[in-house]
Amino acid sequence: MKEVCFCGRRGEITYREPILDESGRWALRCWSCGHTDYLEWLSEEAGLVLWGEAKRCRELSVEQGRFAA
């Protein structure tokens, strides 16, 4: 799924940083501007799948040296 952030960055939504906020809600944060996209617009199952995919993409990128851990 391609997504455009408020900062103008374009790309796969799974390339965003998966986070849990202080209340435990799943979200994806733009690594460029820090905008947080809560996944509440999806069903719980779909949100978890998307968040998990973003987590896997992030871990793979860290292993390949594209992002700092």
Domain boundaries, the chain: 2-63
Tokens encoding 13? 């939504």
The pTM for the full model equals: 0.71
* 52/32 Cα distance (integer angstroms): 20
Ramachandran region of residue 68, left (φ > 0), alpha (ψ -120 to 50) or beta?
Answer: beta
Per-residue model confidence as pLDDT tens for the chain (69 residues): 556 777 777 777 777 889 998 898 889 998 888 889 888 889 999 999 999 999 998 888 777 776 554
